[in-house]
A and B are shown apart, each in its own frame.
Chain A
Amino acid sequence: MVNIKVQVEGLSVWYRDKQILRDICILIPEKKITAVMGPSGCGKTTFLKSLNRLIEIHEGFKVYGKVLLDGKNIYDPDVDPMDIRARIGMVFQKPNPFPHLSIYDNVVVGLKLRGITDKKYLDRIVRETLEKVGLWDEVKDRLRSSAAKLSGGQQQRLCIARALALNPEVLLLDEPTSALDPLAAAKIENLLVDLKKEYTIIIVTHNIQQAARISDYAAFLYMGRLIEFGETKDIFTNPKNELTEKYVEGKIG
C-alpha cells in the first residue's frame, strides 16, 4: 500500500471568466514519480502551479477546491504560502538560475532570504545538494562564478539543487527537459529516478515517451479535465478511457 502525499479534491481554477481546470481529483503517492501528461493548453502547468500556490502570484486566477498536503489543505487561511512553497519545490521549463548570482548563491539564496546565515550549514547544503544533482564535481572549483556560464543541462540541474536546498517534501517539475538536448535530458531523467527515493515527484510533460519512461503513475489531462489516472504501465498498455488510448497512441494532442 502506498502512502498518499498530496490529495487534490475538486480542484477548479478560473482565469478571469475562463475555466482552466475542472473539478480535478487525484491522489499523488509518496516517493513516486507521477507524470501529468496532456496536449498543450490542457491546463497542466496551471495544475502544477496550483499545488504550491504559485498560481497566486499571477493576477486573475481563482482557485476552488482543496489540495491536501499530508492531509492539511494548503489553501486554508492559516497556512502561509511561503511555507508551502518551501515544502513543495518547483523546477521550471526553461532553466532559470539567477544570472546575477554565483553558483553557490543560487543554491542557498532561498535559505539565505529565509533567514538562515550559518556559513557552515550553507556550505554543507551547497555540497550535499550539488552532489545529489550530480553537479558537484563539475562546478566545485568555480562555486563563486556566475551561474549564467553553465550549460543548459547544468543550469537545470542547478535549478533542481536550488529547490532541493530548502529540503522540500515534494518536487514539482514543469517540462524540465523541453529546453535541453537529448543527452542533458537523459541525465535529468536519471536524476529524477534517483531523487524519488527521497522526494515525491510530480512532473508535467507533453513528451509522452518521457512520462512513460520515468513515471510510476501517470495522469492524463485533457481540456482541463482529468481523463484518467493510474499506474504508468496500465496507462500505456491498457488504458481504460478511449481518449487516453488515442493520446498514448499518439493520435491526438
Chain B
Amino acid sequence: MIERKILEEKIRNLENMLLKMYSITVRGVQAIVDLPSDEAFKIIEESEYSSDILNWEIFEEAIATIATQQPTAKDLRFIVMTTTIAAVHERINDLALDIAKAIKKIDDVPVELKSSIKTAVETILKMLEVTKNAMVAHSFINVHDKLGKLDDIVDGIFRDTLDFLEGKKDISVRTVMNLVMILRDLERIGDLVGKIGARLIYIETGKMVPIK
C-alpha cells in the first residue's frame, strides 16, 4: 500500500483543529453554569470569537487540501464534513453567547431553573464528549443511541421549564421570555451536537443517519 504522506498529514492537522474547536466549545458551554459572573461571560465571549476564527481557518485548510491533494471517498467525506462540523461548533458558541447575554438581563434566575440549566449544560457536555471520543477512537458503536438519549434529556428539560413557568405568576413577562429563550437555546445546542454526531457517522459509513 502506498501512503499519501501529505494528505495524511493534512487530515491529521484538520483532526487536531477540530479537537481544538471541541475544547473551545466545551470551555464556553461549561461557563454557562457560572453565569452571570463577569469571568464566565468573558470566557464565553472569547470562545465565540476564537471559534469564529478557527472556523475560517478550518475552511481554508479544507479547501487547500481538496484543491491540492484530490482526496476521495472517506478522506473527502472527512474533509468536507470537517467544515460543516466546525460551522456547527461556531454556531453553538454563538448560542452560548446569546444565553450569556440573556442571563445578564435577568436580575435573579429562580433556583429551580438554575438547576435545570445546570443539568442541561452537563448533558450537553456529555454529548460533546461522546462526539469527541467517537472521533478520536474512530468508533461509532452506540453513538447514535447515546446522543439520542442525551438529547431527549435536554428536550425534556425544556418542556419541564415551560410547564414550570406556566404556573409562575410572580415573574415578569420579560424575565419569562428571557428564560424561555435560554432554555430554548440550550435545547438547540443539544440538537446541534446531535448533528455533529450524525456527521461523524456519515464520515465513517457514508450513510446519513439523522439524530433526533
Contact residues of B with A, CB < 8 Å? 2-7, 60, 63-64, 67-70
> Is there an interface contact between A237 and B5, defined as CB atoms closer than 8 Å?
no
> Is there an interface contact between B68 and A232, defined as CB atoms closer than 8 Å?
yes
* Shortest Cβ distance from B10 into A: residue: A233
The 8 closest A-B pairs by CB, nearest first: A233-B64, A212-B68, A236-B67, A186-B2, A237-B67, A236-B68, A237-B63, A193-B5
Task: Judge whether A213 is part of the interface by a CB distance below 8 angstroms.
Answer: yes
> Is there an interface contact between B6 and A214, defined as CB atoms closer than 8 Å?
yes
Q: How far is the CB of B108 from chain A (nearest CB, A)?
A: 51
Contacts of A214 in B (CB 8 A): 6
Task: Judge whether A183 is part of the interface by a CB distance below 8 angstroms.
Answer: yes
Contact residues of A with B, CB < 8 Å? 183, 186-187, 190, 193-194, 209, 212-214, 232-233, 236-237
Contacts of A236 in B (CB 8 A): 64, 67-68
* A contact patch SS: helix
The number of A-B residue pairs with CB atoms under 8 Å apart is: 34
Contacts of A193 in B (CB 8 A): 5-6
Contacts of B69 in A (CB 8 A): 212-213
> Is there an interface contact between A190 and B67, defined as CB atoms closer than 8 Å?
no
> Is there an interface contact between B70 and A237, defined as CB atoms closer than 8 Å?
no
> Is there an interface contact between A209 and B5, defined as CB atoms closer than 8 Å?
no
Task: List 13 A–B pairs whose Cβ atoms lie within 8 Å, in order of A's numbering.
Answer: A186-B4, A193-B5, A194-B5, A212-B67, A212-B68, A212-B69, A212-B70, A213-B69, A232-B68, A236-B67, A236-B68, A237-B60, A237-B67
Name B70's contact: one of A186, A213, A233 (CB within 8 Å). A213
CA distance A190 to B3 in the complex (A): 8
Contacts of B2 in A (CB 8 A): 183, 186-187, 190
> Is there an interface contact between A213 and B68, defined as CB atoms closer than 8 Å?
yes
Contacts of A183 in B (CB 8 A): 2
* Shortest Cβ distance from A248 into B: residue: B67
> Is there an interface contact between B3 and A233, defined as CB atoms closer than 8 Å?
no
CA distance A186 to B8 in the complex (A): 14
Given contacts A214-B6, A237-B63, 15 further A-B contacts (CB under 8 A): A187-B2, A193-B5, A193-B6, A194-B5, A209-B70, A212-B69, A212-B70, A213-B68, A213-B70, A233-B64, A233-B67, A236-B64, A236-B68, A237-B60, A237-B64
Name B68's contact: one of A186, A187, A194, A233 (CB within 8 Å). A233
